[in-house]
Amino acid sequence: MSASEVSAALAMSRITVRRYLEYLGDQRAVLRTPRYGTRGRPELEYLWRR
């Protein structure tokens, strides 16, 4: 899921969710991969590591 999708699901600020997901990525709890759309910047997608 992207930070935007998580923030919508949890009714939280996108920036707060993105910061927390970045922290989890630094801790290697989630895997970050770019998701390319049709236009603009790629969105980062976060996936739980097992």
Model-level pTM greater than 0.85?
no
| Domains identified in the chain, total number | 1
Kindly indicate the confidence band of residue 18, based on its pLDDT and cuts at 50, 70 and 90.
Answer: very high
Residue 19 confidence class, pLDDT cut points 50, 70, 90: very high
* Burial bucket for residue 5 (CB in 10 Å: 0-12, 13-18, 19+): middle
Beta bridge partners of 43: 35
Q: Which pLDDT tens digit goes with each residue over 32-43?
A: 999 998 788 889
Give the domain range for residue 38. 3-48
Residue type, 28: R
CA distance 30 to 22: 9
pLDDT of residue 24: 96
